[in-house]
Every structure is written in structure tokens, then in C-alpha cells.
């Protein structure tokens, strides 16, 4: 006969799955925020008639914000020891 798993093991697995789901949702929100941040800086320039310059500025602001958040997250993880 197979032994039954303990409740603690099931709860730990459920907690880990929820934690991973929450982290994924937060990263999706961060990416959307960075996209909107870049869009808000680039759109007025594009609307003014300078399409190439507006797109590049939007990518620079949005990409820069995303890179800053990613670097700070991973640096924080390394300093914690994870």
C-alpha cells in the first residue's frame, strides 16, 4: 500500500504554486507599467510629427525603466542570498 502524503507537504506545495503565480502576475504588471511609461513619453513626440524620434525615446524610457527594475530585483535577491 502506498503511504499517504502529509497535509504539511500538500500545503507547502500549494503555497509555492501561489507564490510563483503571484510573482508572474507582478512581473506582468511591471512590464505593462514600463510599456505605458515609455508610451507616455514617446506619444507626444510622435503626435508632433517626429515618428522615429518619438519611438526611440519611448523605447529608451520604457526599456530603461524595465532594466532598472530587473537589476534592482536581481541585486536584491543576490544580497538576500537566494
pLDDT tens per residue across all 82 residues of the chain:
556 667 777 888 889 999 999 999 999 999 999 999 999 999 999 999 999 999 999 999 999 999 999 999 999 989 988 7
Residue 82 pLDDT: 73
Residues 59, 42: contact at Cβ < 8 Å?
yes
Q: What pLDDT score does 2 carry?
A: 59
Q: CB 76: neighbour CB atoms within 10 A?
A: 10
Report the candidate in 51, 55, 74, 52 with the shortest Cα–Cα distance to residue 63.
55
38 burial type by CB count under 10 A (0-12 exposed, 13-18 middle, 19+ buried): buried
Domain assignments of the chain as residue spans, ordered by start: 35-82
Amino acid at each position: 500500500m502506498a503511504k499517504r502524503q502529509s497535509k504539511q507537504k500538500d500545503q507547502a506545495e500549494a503555497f509555492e504554486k501561489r507564490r510563483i503565480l503571484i510573482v508572474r502576475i507582478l512581473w506582468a504588471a511591471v512590464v505593462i507599467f514600463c510599456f505605458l511609461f515609455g508610451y507616455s513619453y514617446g506619444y507626444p513626440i510622435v503626435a508632433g510629427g517626429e515618428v522615429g524620434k518619438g519611438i526611440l525615446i519611448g523605447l529608451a524610457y520604457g526599456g530603461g525603466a524595465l532594466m532598472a527594475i530587473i537589476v534592482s530585483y536581481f541585486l536584491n535577491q543576490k544580497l538576500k542570498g537566494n
